Amino acid sequence: MGTESKTGKRSLSSAVSLGVMSLAVLGWTTPAAAQEAATSSSDTQAASDTSAQSDIVVTGSRFGPRVVTDSPTPIDAISGEELVRAGNSDLQSKLEVVVPSFSTPRPVSAGTNDFLTPPTLRGLSTGQVLLLVNGKRRHTNAELNSNNQIGRGDVAYDFNAIPVAALARVEVLRDGAAAQYGSDAIAGVINLQLDNSVGTLAQARFGMTTEGDGEDYQASLAHGFAIAGDGFVRLTGSYQKHFSTNRARPDTRQQYFGNNNGVLVLPSGNFGSGVGLTPSNGTLDPREATFDRDTSFYGEPEYDNASFFVNAEVPLTNDIRLYSFGGYNRLKGTSFNFFRRAGQDENVRSIFPDGFRPEQVSRLTNFSSAFGIKGDDLAGFRWDLSTVYGISQNKLRVENSVNASFGAQSPTSFFRGGSRFRQWTTNFDLSREIDLGDGSPLKIAFGAEYRKEFYRLIAGEPASYANGGIRVLDGPNAGRPAPVGAQSAIGVSPSDVLPGKRNSRAIYAEVEKEFADRVLISAAVRHENFSDFGKTTDYRLAGRLELTDGLALRGSLGTGFRAPALAQSFYSQTDFSFVNGQLLAVRIFSVNDPVARLIGATPLKPEQSDNVSVGAVFESGGFALTIDAYRIKLDDRIAISSNFQSAALTNFLAQRGVPDIAAAAFLTNAVDTTTEGIDLTARYRTDLGAGSLIATFAANFNRTKFDRLGGRPAELTAIGITTPLVDLTQQIRLSESTPEDKQTLNLTWASGPWNVSLTGTRYGKVAQVALTNVTPARVAVLTPGYNVKLVPSPANAANSDIIQRFRADIIADIDISYEINNRLTLGIGAANLFNQYPEGPLASTVASVAAGTNGADNAGIFPYANISPYGISGRFLYAKATFRY
């Protein structure tokens, strides 16, 4: 209810800007890499009739297909051919190279998120991007990202659920569009347009890294056939088997108990202990000399992924058509977690005498089904009635693990639970053109939407979360309480299961008019009422002014919103996380949990945005140049709080029925940000030798600043917590963990049967908080040779939190294909051609250990920064074949 009031204030405060911007009209952004690429089909027959080029798009307007150069907002259109030509193995990696402001992190040991790789657009989070399939809203994955990596506290779409071979093209609208499409479309919209062509497409690819791992097998088969005249059915199946990569260093830590004059002592955790770089704790166990120190995995996970999709349309009468699309996907993958040493309390030595590495096996399934009927004449209106149902379900197991509180009776395999999300969206849309007698009709559209969503966690088996009551069995800590729950992920208990549901009702309208063949103005408004958050009304105004032939201005302004995902409100889980180098049980409380209210959690509110964008486009001959500047002010941004940690808090929670928790966190609307940036594209086409060359340059520059950080709740202050509500670690993750700039240069040369594509992508600097509350003496030995910024620590002003900044890197990709005949094409290529690796985090050294601290590299095991936007696996070589019939 308060949402509507706040939106009203935003609308009033924007009135002056609206008046000014409505006069300062505005131009288009030419797509960075798709002006010349052909596509075999479009999502509608009208689009196919309009053009055979991939620059025909339907995203961003309710008035049918149009050429991207006529759009009042910037849209990238990437053809299916371009997606096939890109050497990367997944769809998000392909888009990252083509779309200037699109970025994808490469999580490491992040559980389910190892397979989701949450994307960002225009420097914002994955939750501020809306995904459509054939113009209809797609459901998100059910899992909340609770890991200490990019996207923490958000939900992601499972791009891997949709075969690339099923796509005719991808359209990326780089502009706020919540007034058109509803919640989430703050940074932009990604629309996956399914192929509707007739014929057969078969593709196969094999690749691996030059380190000899990461083998990747892919095969897909698609077949489309005509039905009932000009109707069609196209079926696509895809299978991928991907093996892990590993760039971890040997684990040089002391693994077993030491012996100090006949008394067992805990193994040292310092870098190099046990192999002579630093002193061990006591006399070494003889097994240290023969222990296999390749204990860890640091790289891409192992998985197999099978998908099936269908796209169909059948004419019922001359002007009424029935359509349907959807599919099923199942991904099973293994994430490798941090090694538990033989001498740790987390181990049961009678089961794993030499320690163990837990493995999480994730089974992700997606199902979606869309049905619709549309026609050209309902009282003079074109109309479209559709309903889309989607399910995401994750089931998780932990293998090669123990629950130490069950002692020698502990299982080694646990079903730890999972999550399920269901979404059902129904739309009815109307549009028509009204002739005003000036040669340019007034286009109007309006419609209604009803959406229902359901979310719940799935409880695990008792041994995955319960306290078995058995204390540490042996060693120096014998008799102390044993860690509770499966390592490395405590299961979902029945008390965690807080089912959530909601519905929303929306009405919306859009108008568009062209004046004097040079000025295009469009406006959209949407009113939506959520059963749990109340009402919001949002608008968008956009326009395009053609100054001369080849030169145009364009721009837009509007408001937007994002309703919190149900997972953000109802997720409740305890996981093991590294907090400042320590492995701790961290509880993320649902904001609906009564215990969470006792430590200051409050119900979540929708995020609210104000978007402004201005740009220009210039075209002359074979050259095109565009530039667009944007500003996105985002209020009540949702983020996971700091990890609050103290003995008093642990006791406070234990007294209220939540024992064995070392740190606690919850989601909060505690952040207001402003993101500003520039998108730039340039394209040049010319003849070269016996062929033609297309050179495309695309760049994005952005920065995010904080306008507000919420204060620490009084409930936490009363317990004695001094940590800020959103600490520096979270702030840097939100503002600097994705590249501050990105530039891509692509050269594509085609001559006869040959096609050669060379791409160079420069990823700008990224940053993360490496360590917190570090003494000056330790800073002095840790930081030489690294690009760091020191911030006084709230815990002790004499100490520092260390922000480490990682250099910009250039990654080159090459793809070469040869058309044997008009049906068979063979190709080879390389991603990360020059085998580039990112910088490493602050290193543990003999000097740092002597000063009393490890670095940020998990005691020397992890050599590269896990926030690298291009991964840590190095050069990837592949060969592929494409057959069309």
How far apart (Å, rounded) are the C-alpha atoms in residues 362 and 805? 32
Question: Do 374 and 385 touch, CB atoms closer than 8 A?
Answer: yes
Question: Do 181 and 137 touch, CB atoms closer than 8 A?
Answer: yes
Q: Summarize pLDDT for 231-249 with one digit per residue, the tens.
A: 999 999 999 999 999 999 9
Which range among 273-287, 342-356, 409-423 shows the weakest confidence by mean pLDDT?
273-287
Distances 426 to 69, 366, 535 between C-alpha atoms, Å: 31, 19, 19
pTM of the model: 0.89
Question: Do 153 and 871 touch, CB atoms closer than 8 A?
Answer: no
Highest mean pLDDT pick, 332-336, 411-415, 579-583: 411-415
- Could you list the beta-strand ranges (E) of 123-181: 129-133, 136-137, 167-173
pLDDT at 550: 87
Q: Summarize pLDDT for 333-356 with one digit per residue, the tens.
A: 999 988 999 999 999 999 999 999
Q: pLDDT-derived band of residue 276, with 50, 70 and 90 as boundaries?
A: confident
The answer as to whether 742 is a domain residue is yes
Question: Do 795 and 771 touch, CB atoms closer than 8 A?
Answer: no
Residue 720 Ramachandran class (φ > 0 left, ψ -120 to 50 alpha, else beta): left
Q: pLDDT-derived band of residue 268, with 50, 70 and 90 as boundaries?
A: confident
pLDDT at 55: 63
Q: Higher confidence at residue 155 or residue 574?
A: 155
pLDDT at 352: 98
Is the pLDDT reported for residue 885 higher than 60?
yes
pLDDT at 10: 40
pLDDT at 132: 96
Q: Higher confidence at residue 690 or residue 53?
A: 690
Q: Summarize pLDDT for 619-644 with one digit per residue, the tens.
A: 888 898 889 999 999 999 999 999 89
Q: How far apart are the first and last CA of the chain?
A: 57
Is the pLDDT reported for residue 13 higher than 50?
no
Buried b or exposed e, range 222-257, using 16+ CB within 10 angstroms = bebeeeeeebbbbbbbbebebbbbbbbbebbbbbbb
Helix (H) or strand (E) holding 399: strand 381-399
Q: Do you know the residue count of the chain?
A: 885
**Count of structural domains, the chain:** 1
What whole-number percentage of the chain has pLDDT above 90? 70
Which range among 56-70, 95-109, 363-377, 558-572 shows the weakest confidence by mean pLDDT?
56-70
How far apart (Å, rounded) are the C-alpha atoms in residues 736 and 705? 10
The answer as to whether 735 is a domain residue is yes
- Could you list the beta-strand ranges (E) of 243-358: 258-260, 263-265, 302-315, 320-336
Kindly calculate the radius of gyration of the chain based on its CA atoms and give it in whole angstroms.
28
Which ranges in 78-177 belong to alpha helices (H)? 80-85, 91-98
What's phi and psi for 216, nearest 5 deg? Answer: -135, 120
Domain hosting 563: range is 2-251+294-765+807-832+870-884
Residues 214-227, mean pLDDT to the nearest whole number: 96
What's phi and psi for 563, nearest 5 deg? Answer: -75, 135
How far apart (Å, rounded) are the C-alpha atoms in residues 494 and 722? 32
The answer as to whether 818 is a domain residue is yes
Which range among 110-114, 646-650, 729-733 shows the weakest confidence by mean pLDDT?
110-114
Q: Summarize pLDDT for 38-96 with one digit per residue, the tens.
A: 333 333 333 333 333 446 666 666 665 555 656 788 888 888 877 776 656 667 777 87
* Tokens describing residue 296: 């860890």
How far apart (Å, rounded) are the C-alpha atoms in residues 559 and 145? 27
The answer as to whether 256 is a domain residue is no
Residues 288-305, mean pLDDT to the nearest whole number: 93
What whole-number percentage of the chain has pLDDT above 70? 90
Between CA 734 and CA 313, with CA 453 as vertex, the angle to 5 degrees is 105
Distances 640 to 421, 510, 816, 882 between C-alpha atoms, Å: 20, 36, 45, 45
pLDDT at 89: 60
Kindly report the average pLDDT of the chain as a whole number: 88
How far apart (Å, rounded) are the C-alpha atoms in residues 18 and 541? 8
Is the pLDDT reported for residue 832 higher than 90?
yes
Pairing of strands 442-458, 320-336: unpaired
The answer as to whether 607 is a domain residue is yes
Residue with tokens 């499972």: 158
One-letter amino acid at 246 equals N
Q: pLDDT-derived band of residue 531, with 50, 70 and 90 as boundaries?
A: very high
Q: pLDDT-derived band of residue 576, with 50, 70 and 90 as boundaries?
A: low
Q: Summarize pLDDT for 837-846 with one digit per residue, the tens.
A: 999 999 999 8
| Residue 571, SS3 per DSSP | coil
pLDDT at 54: 47
Q: Which among 553, 634, 569 is positioned nearest to 601, based on CA atoms?
A: 569
pLDDT at 11: 37
pLDDT at 15: 33
- Could you list the beta-strand ranges (E) of 435-460: 442-458
How far apart (Å, rounded) are the C-alpha atoms in residues 29 and 174? 9
* Tokens describing residue 773: 């509350």
The answer as to whether 802 is a domain residue is no
* Tokens describing residue 140: 């998100």
- Please write down the long-range contacts of 480-483, taking CB distance under 8 Å and 24 or more positions apart: 480/345, 481/405, 481/660, 482/345, 482/404, 482/405, 482/407, 483/345, 483/346, 483/404, 483/405, 483/585, 483/660
Q: Which among 631, 622, 750 is positioned nearest to 679, based on CA atoms?
A: 631
How far apart (Å, rounded) are the C-alpha atoms in residues 180 and 384? 16
* Tokens describing residue 511: 């108008």
Is the pLDDT reported for residue 673 higher than 90?
yes
pLDDT at 47: 34
Pairing of strands 824-831, 876-884: antiparallel
Residues 348-367, mean pLDDT to the nearest whole number: 96
pLDDT at 357: 95
pLDDT at 61: 64
For 851-875, give the secondary structure using H, E and C: CCCCCCCCCCCCCCCCCCCCCCCCC
How far apart (Å, rounded) are the C-alpha atoms in residues 288 and 306? 43
For position 720, which CATH number holds?
2.40.170.20
pLDDT at 599: 94
The answer as to whether 267 is a domain residue is no
The answer as to whether 785 is a domain residue is no
pLDDT at 63: 63
Residues 368-386, mean pLDDT to the nearest whole number: 96
